[in-house]
Amino acid sequence: MRTETPPIIRLADYRPSDYLIDRVELDVRLHPTETRITATLALRPNPKGEAGAPLVLDGDELTLLALDLDGQPPAPGAVEVQPRALVLHQPPRRPFTLAIETQVNPSANTKLMGLYRSGGVYCTQCEADGFRRITYFLDRPDVMAVYTTRIEADLEEAPVLLGNGNPGQAGPAGEGRHYAVWHDPHPKPAYLFALVGGRLGRVATRFTTMEGRDVEIAVYVEPGKEPRAPYALDAVARSMAWDETAFGRPYDLDVFNVVAVSDFNMGAMENKGLNIFNDKYVLASPDTATDADYANIEAIIAHEYFHNWSGNRVTCRDWFQLCLKEGLTVFRDQEFSSDARSRPVHRIAEVRTLRARQFPEDAGPLAHPVRPQAYREINNFYTATVYEKGAEIVRMLRTLLGPGAFRGGMDRYFAACDGTAATVEDFLAAFAAESGRDLAAFARWYAQAGTPTVAVSGRHDPAARTYTLAFRQSLPTVVTEAASGAAPLPLVIPVALGLVDPGGGAVAGRSDRVRDGVFVLEAEEDSLVFTDVDAAPVPSLFRGFSAPVKVAHALTPAERLALLSHDSDPFNRWQAAQSLGLEAILSRVRAGAPQAEEAGPRGEALSRALAAFLDAEALADPAFAALVLTLPGDQEAAQEIGTEVDPDAIHRARQTLRTHLGRDLAARLAALREALAEPPGAPFSPDAASAGRRALRNVALDLLAAADPGLGTRLAVAQVEAAATMTDRLAALAVLTLLPGEARERALAGFAEAYRDEPLVLDKWFAIQAAIPEPGTVARVRGLMEHPAFALGNPNRVRSLIGSFSLNNPTQFHRPDGAGYDLVAEAVRHLDGKNPQVAARLLTAFNNWRMVEAGRRQKAEEALRAVAAVTGLSPDVSDIVGRSLG
């Protein structure tokens, strides 16, 4: 087999479908290896398409058993079966019916796209183009139909049968089989189709919508795991209530089902009325799930539920519009979590993810606009840019328009586009109509890749009593296959800002260009004058991270300290500590002295600032304090340096700084651990306040261990043994993994033994070992790939072991001898034959390869070229490797 580069698909080439499908009747007879599907499609020519064009139905790895056109076998020669399509020449120029019988083998489906089996459960995954692996279809999101699905299965094997929409008839089907019919009255694209059949446990509750609809909500899990399902179930009910109050959006079916499966390529999927989840984002108990797991479950349950309006009721015209549903829905789930937890703490978490995942993507060879203009493989565009930067664009829209006009615009959007497949233009038009504003310049955020930098400088004029801020925005020129690299146009950048008095007093300064605390930077350069400013203030810029930009704003340590102590904006208080930490790390690296004994002026300033902060308010908001105490990661420092990066130097600089902080703050950290200790037998709560106390306690442990490995080992070993929650146990184990020695190996072995039957817990065990920053880790990871609990076929296992190695272990992934690159490249090659989507995602870890110094760069390139040279590469991997090298 030869590697074929898939053709480029361009947004500019969009054409409506020549045919539409109004109704689909599916009859699915489930069988482990020979599942048969009869699809009866009510088709008609699309008035917007080309009259008389051949009907080209998509198909992938299907066996065609029978075909009928209006109840007759089609004329000989009228039908052509191609490897990836079924073509009907000269179809009727009026509505017609096509009945297609296909056969598939769910047990052999290792791509986990289409109909497959996970732990004996039949399930489907159709986004983006998996429905064509079930039957021949117009598998594109702008073809929307009403589906009725009859599912039949062996009663023993699959007592539970679930489909989209509302349940209909069900009963025995003879020979030990049974059936269930599901009808979904809402027209939907094929990517939202789903069915499930299997032996599953169930927990359920009821919810009455604002319209008075009585809804049954159920969560289905592996039998025996029911006690771990109530948190997710409750999160569904809370999401339903929130979407009513926050956006006026009620649920629209009689049942809402969530099914957890253990083999899933992504996090979860918003199929209409039947969300299918990676079980990692459903199952929770204090002994098996960390606080981060609880928070993720809540967020992803909300995300999939919110898709019912932003994604399902209003879907995407084509896959270029992916951010229309994903960016918007991420924004909605972020707002939900912010309301359910702490808004400032959540905002900081969002920005940390954006900087750790999206900024690097935007700075490397895989950079693309939030709405790409071209793709070869759509599955490679479920990215941090589409999701996270897409959410930031929606957030900026709200900042620019204000909450009232934003909500009005959302209402208009839902009203105007309900039941349709829409575009980014439709979305923006709703806000333009509501606010009377021209959003044409704002729309550039969707079209231009790259992270903008905003350089700011401030000047106080005591005589004139003015304070002037000069802004300059610049955007990197990103060359992609679709866009030539023409000079980017200025963006519309909302700058939420304020002036802070260095002594903590009030600043009187005013500017009529600042409205509700926001200045809008629209030109490449602009300046803002505040009047009535007596003394030089410290500007607090991009409060709440009001735009996804890098800010170049030189402040002295004293000025950063003033912001940390006195800013009214919690995000910028945290940012001040982060900036101090980053500057301290960078100055060590740049001086070529990552391990210097002295803390340096910035390190000293940071220590003093953190000491004062801890004394004043650590216990007031422990979750916030934990974030303030956490230094920016290695990757953020690498990003800042940008070229010829030496990951070892960065790592040493950061570790040494942690050691300094741990020493300087030791007494305070120990006292904090005491003050935050949980009384024995205290009831567990996953709420944000309790999680915040655990987080601060564990950050304290981590810094103490950095300063004194002996003490750290004793404390961590004791905590691993005595911990009442997985959060505390895993945090202590993670601290131990940084302390080489026998205690570590004993603790790891004990953990593996204790959780030998808990795959999701062993994933955490895989992940922390893969992140050990020591030369032995490559061999350790190779060894773990042979562990009985590891399986290359399970995406969670692969991400935990190999994904964690490539993303969370910069010094070992970027080993100078290339052994880290080889490990990941090899895994990609092995996996590609089984599951190309997961293989391609794994390969994106090479995204920043051009940033590292020459020796490593050459090794990385060799590893990438070795992947590129493999014959028969999947389109998924060949797309990523091609763009990475391109």
- For the beta carbon of residue 294, count every other beta carbon within 10 angstroms: 23
Nearest residue (beta carbon) to ligand PHE: 266
**Contacts to Zn ion from residues 317-356, by CB under 5 A:** 326, 329
Q: Which is nearer to ligand PHE, 45 or 311 (CB)?
A: 311
Number of residues that bind ligand PHE (CB under 6 A): 13
Compute the least distance from the CB of residue 879 to ligand PHE, in Å.
16
The answer to the question of residue 269 lying near ligand PHE (CB under 6 A) is yes
**What binding mask, one character per residue, do residues 706-745 give for Zn ion by CB under 5 A, x or -?**
----------------------------------------
How many residues make up the chain in this entry?
886
**What binding mask, one character per residue, do residues 221-260 give for ligand PHE by CB under 6 A, x or -?**
----------------------------------------
Q: Which is nearer to Zn ion, 116 or 382 (CB)?
A: 382
With CB under 6 A as the contact rule, the residue among 266, 323, 367, 707 that binds ligand PHE is 266
CA angle, corner 787, sides to 785 and 788, nearest 5? 125
The entry of ligand PHE, Zn ion, none near residue 827 (CB within 5 to 8 angstroms by kind) is: none
The entry of Zn ion, ligand PHE, none near residue 127 (CB within 5 to 8 angstroms by kind) is: ligand PHE
Compute the least distance from the CB of residue 382 to ligand PHE, in Å.
5
Q: Which is nearer to Zn ion, 329 or 844 (CB)?
A: 329
Q: Which is nearer to ligand PHE, 110 or 587 (CB)?
A: 110
Distances (CA, A) of 602 to 329, 504, 562, 579, 748: 40, 22, 14, 10, 37
- For the beta carbon of residue 124, count every other beta carbon within 10 angstroms: 26
Compute the least distance from the CB of residue 803 to ligand PHE, in Å.
16
Compute the least distance from the CB of residue 532 to ligand PHE, in Å.
49
Compute the least distance from the CB of residue 265 to ligand PHE, in Å.
6
The entry of Zn ion, ligand PHE, none near residue 312 (CB within 5 to 8 angstroms by kind) is: none
Interstrand relation of 421-422 and 466-474 (parallel, antiparallel or unpaired): unpaired
Compute the least distance from the CB of residue 565 to ligand PHE, in Å.
40
Sheet of 63-69, strand order: 63-69, 96-104, 35-45, 19-29, 145-154, 177-188, 166-174
Is residue 31 within 8 A of residue 53, CB to CB? The reply is: no
Amino acid identity for residue 279 in this structure: D
Distances (CA, A) of 680 to 327, 670, 683, 725: 43, 19, 9, 12
Compute the least distance from the CB of residue 291 to Zn ion, in Å.
23
Number of residues that bind Zn ion (CB under 5 A): 2
Cα separation, 257 vs 282, in Å, equals 12
CA angle, corner 549, sides to 546 and 553, nearest 5? 95
The answer to the question of residue 326 lying near ligand PHE (CB under 6 A) is yes
The answer to the question of residue 799 lying near ligand PHE (CB under 6 A) is no
User: Which residues make Cβ contacts (< 8 Å) with residue 165, sequence separation at least 6?
Assistant: 147, 182, 183, 184, 185, 186, 253, 272, 273
Task: Show the tokens assigned to 822.
Answer: 């080889």
Cα separation, 685 vs 569, in Å, equals 28
The answer to the question of residue 291 lying near ligand PHE (CB under 6 A) is no
Q: Which is nearer to ligand PHE, 257 or 769 (CB)?
A: 257
Cα separation, 157 vs 33, in Å, equals 13
How far from the centroid of its chain's Cα atoms is residue 141's Cα?
Answer: 22
**Contacts to ligand PHE from residues 299-318, by CB under 6 A:** 303-304, 307
**Contacts to ligand PHE from residues 418-477, by CB under 6 A:** none
Range in contact with ligand PHE (rule: CB under 6 A) among 3-11, 37-45, 265-273, 397-405: 265-273
The answer to the question of residue 270 lying near ligand PHE (CB under 6 A) is yes
| Residue 476: DSSP 8-state | -
The entry of ligand PHE, Zn ion, none near residue 269 (CB within 5 to 8 angstroms by kind) is: ligand PHE
The answer to the question of residue 328 lying near ligand PHE (CB under 6 A) is no
Range in contact with ligand PHE (rule: CB under 6 A) among 263-271, 413-421, 588-596, 825-833: 263-271
Q: Which is nearer to ligand PHE, 59 or 390 (CB)?
A: 390
Q: Which is nearer to Zn ion, 139 or 326 (CB)?
A: 326
Compute the least distance from the CB of residue 277 to Zn ion, in Å.
12
Phi and psi based region of residue 669 (left: phi greater than 0; alpha: psi -120 to 50; beta: remaining): alpha
Among 222, 304, 377, 434, which one carries the catalytic annotation?
Answer: 304
The answer to the question of residue 391 lying near ligand PHE (CB under 6 A) is no
Cα separation, 770 vs 823, in Å, equals 12
Q: Which is nearer to ligand PHE, 305 or 765 (CB)?
A: 305
Compute the least distance from the CB of residue 284 to Zn ion, in Å.
20
With CB under 6 A as the contact rule, the residue among 382, 765, 790, 813 that binds ligand PHE is 382
- DSSP 3-state assignment of 817? coil
The entry of ligand PHE, Zn ion, none near residue 266 (CB within 5 to 8 angstroms by kind) is: ligand PHE
Q: Which is nearer to ligand PHE, 329 or 719 (CB)?
A: 329
How far from the centroid of its chain's Cα atoms is residue 844's Cα?
Answer: 14
With CB under 6 A as the contact rule, the residue among 18, 25, 60, 127 that binds ligand PHE is 127
Cα separation, 179 vs 169, in Å, equals 8
The entry of ligand PHE, Zn ion, none near residue 646 (CB within 5 to 8 angstroms by kind) is: none
Cα separation, 91 vs 76, in Å, equals 13
Compute the least distance from the CB of residue 191 to ligand PHE, in Å.
8
Q: Catalytic annotation on 152?
A: no
The entry of ligand PHE, Zn ion, none near residue 574 (CB within 5 to 8 angstroms by kind) is: none
Q: Which is nearer to ligand PHE, 302 or 449 (CB)?
A: 302
The answer to the question of residue 125 lying near ligand PHE (CB under 6 A) is yes
Handedness of CA 868, 871, 873, 875 (dihedral sign): positive
The entry of ligand PHE, Zn ion, none near residue 572 (CB within 5 to 8 angstroms by kind) is: none
Amino acid identity for residue 577 in this structure: A
Cα separation, 520 vs 448, in Å, equals 19
Cα separation, 867 vs 828, in Å, equals 8
Q: Which is nearer to Zn ion, 354 or 761 (CB)?
A: 354
Compute the least distance from the CB of residue 189 to Zn ion, in Å.
14
Q: Which of 612, 614, 588 is nearest to 599 (CA)?
A: 588
Is residue 18 within 8 A of residue 33, CB to CB? The reply is: no
Compute the least distance from the CB of residue 381 to Zn ion, in Å.
13
Concatenated DSSP letters for 723-763? Answer: -SSHHHHHHHHHHHHTS-SHHHHHHHHHHHHHTTT-HHHHH
Phi and psi based region of residue 109 (left: phi greater than 0; alpha: psi -120 to 50; beta: remaining): beta
**What binding mask, one character per residue, do residues 73-112 give for ligand PHE by CB under 6 A, x or -?**
----------------------------------------
Q: Which of 827, 852, 857 is nearest to 842 (CA)?
A: 827
How far from the centroid of its chain's Cα atoms is residue 98's Cα?
Answer: 39
Range in contact with ligand PHE (rule: CB under 6 A) among 123-131, 489-497, 583-591, 776-784: 123-131
Q: Is 670 exposed, middle or buried (0-12, 13-18, 19+ CB in 10 A)?
A: middle
Cα separation, 303 vs 357, in Å, equals 19
Q: Which is nearer to ligand PHE, 137 or 530 (CB)?
A: 137
Compute the least distance from the CB of residue 129 to ligand PHE, in Å.
10
Cα separation, 223 vs 15, in Å, equals 47
Binding residues for ligand PHE, per CB under 6 A? 125, 127-128, 265-266, 268-270, 303-304, 307, 326, 382
Q: What residues make contact with Zn ion under the rule CB under 5 A?
A: 326, 329
User: Which amino acids are annotated catalytic?
Assistant: 304
